[in-house]
Amino acid sequence: MPPPQLAPVVARAPLFPSVILLLVGLLAGPASARAAEAVVRVQIIPDAPSARITVLGPCRIIDLAGRTVVSTLPQLRWQEIRPRAEGIQVGRSVIRSRRVQIAPAGDWLIAVNGVRYRGALNIIRLDDSYLQLISEMPLEEYLKGVVPTEIDHRWPLETLKAQAIVARTFTRRQVADRAGHDFDVTKVWPQLYGGLPAERSRAAEAVEATRGRVLMFEGHLLPAYYHTVCGGHTEDASRVWPAIQQAPLRGVPCHYCQRAPHGHWRFEMSEEEVGQRLQRLGLGGRPVMGLTVVARDASGRVTTVAVESTQGTSCVSSVQLRAVLGPNRLRSTNFVIAHPDSRWVFQGSGWGHGVGLCQWGAARLGQQRQTAAQILAYYYPGAELVEWPRP
């Protein structure tokens, strides 16, 4: 299904916010203004020997270990940060701490090696040679960089709103699970975060229109998984992750993604390569003489494949098989296997684990004038759409 061809409107955050916004930010103070807002910590560089930092407005340097403000500066221009034996160097100063935050006032942005980020920057000294850099920003701002990266911002607004709610729910759970860690997410895990360059006005509108809304089930945040295209039926989450046994994630038929590009696929792999890859699972010896689907679940997806080799026959789960052959080649667990000559041929439908919301199906439902609430009720039956935190 081709997406509606609406003209993309690029909305990039200004590097120089208005004087009014700056004054409001300074008067209110970033900490008090954002105290009630959930934040997300995004790892942007896992290990950097040094970096250059720019903030074109007032900012504070905070020792996160002692929770004290070390200094307040009118601005930082292309200042180098690097690890030192006694702490972290910022410009010409060395802060005697393993964890430092640079917090711009109000809505001023911080640039790291020339790339702009919202919120504050956490600098963690890993050892004498490397720093870890983490962008800490309000959850809603983070979502504005996720939604247009995960789906096409030209899709129907109600589809974008459904995606925003699902991404918010997923992130809330992630933040709760990662409380004891230095960061909650990275730029690619568990969702794609494109940052400021990826932001688009329609996606931002969808985030704003659904601000704070999440999916709950039996009093807890739902593990709101989503995927590109299901291929006809969404998957029972417990088939992929046995610990997840929740009614809204048992899978539903989906006839809305039939015309999605990449909905049907085919790939080939040589006998030799299949054998090599299966050996990573400790299975069989080369060559692999037989690959046979032995069980499918109610959605039609393969659950178990028998592997026949010179060392006998073993069984492998389709989830393991997908991981070892490559999840972007064996795009889903809904496939058939053929062996015409010295190659193994896989043909299937769907892309992704198939659990929860089917993005291409949601696009079609949006085109059919379904609301975000209706789209979510379809893919997560029984889940409750609520404001978080509850009033």
Q: Which residues bind Zn ion (CB under 5 A)?
A: 230, 254, 257, 358, 361
Cβ-Cβ contacts under 8 Å for 378 (sequence gap 6 or more): 252, 365, 370
Of 305 and 365, CB closest to Zn ion:
365
Q: Which is nearer to Zn ion, 48 or 230 (CB)?
A: 230
Chain Cα centroid distance, residue 193: 6
Taking the complex as a whole, the smallest distance from the CB of residue 356 to Zn ion amounts, in Å, to 11
User: What is the closest distance, in whole angstroms, from the C-beta atom of residue 256 to Zn ion in the complex?
Assistant: 6
Q: Which amino acid is residue 174, in one-letter code? A: Q
Nearer to Zn ion, 193 or 225 (CB): 225
Return the closest-CA partner of residue 110 out of 40, 183, 51, 189. Answer: 51
d(CA 257, CA 239): 21
Please, what is the minimum distance in Å from the beta carbon of residue 198 to Zn ion?
24
- Residues 145 and 204 sit within 8 Å (Cβ to Cβ): no
How far separated are the first and last CA of the chain, in Å rounded?
40
Query: Which residue lies nearer to Zn ion by CB, 240 or 316?
Result: 240
Q: What number of other Cβ atoms are within 10 A of residue 16's Cβ?
A: 11
Q: How far is the CB of 228 from Zn ion (least distance, A)?
A: 9
Nearer to Zn ion, 207 or 358 (CB): 358
Sign of CA dihedral 164, 237, 375, 347: positive
Least Å from the CB of residue 352 to Zn ion = 10
CB of 89 to Zn ion, least distance (A): 52
For the bound state, the minimum distance from the C-beta of residue 383 to Zn ion, rounded and expressed in Å, comes to: 17
Asked if 99 and 66 count as a contact pair (C-beta separation under 8 A), the reply is no
- Residue number with CB closer to Zn ion (108 or 351): 351
Decide: 29 and 120 in contact? Cβ < 8 Å: no
Eight-class DSSP state of 159 = H
Closest to Zn ion by CB, 112 vs 257, is: 257
Cβ-Cβ contacts under 8 Å for 255 (sequence gap 6 or more): 232
Q: Scan for tokens 């929860």, then name that residue.
A: 356
Q: Enumerate residues 6+ apart whose C-beta is below 8 A from 382.
A: 217, 247, 248
Q: Which is nearer to Zn ion, 222 or 230 (CB)?
A: 230
Q: How far apart are CA 132 and CA 81, in angstroms?
A: 11
Q: How far is the CB of 289 from Zn ion (least distance, A)?
A: 35
- Rounded to whole angstroms, the Cα distance separating 182 from 149 reads 24
| Residue 349 C-beta: closest distance to Zn ion, Å | 9
Shorter beta-carbon distance to Zn ion: residue 257 or 307: 257
Handedness of CA 323, 312, 271, 302 (dihedral sign): negative
* Nearest distance from C-beta of residue 305 to Zn ion, angstroms: 23
Rounded-to-integer distance, Cα 310 and Cα 192, Å: 42
Please tell me the distance from the alpha carbon of residue 98 to that of residue 87, in angstroms, as a whole number: 6
Cβ distance to Zn ion smaller for residue 258 or 371: 258
Q: What's the rounded Cα separation, in Å, for the pair 167 and 175?
A: 12
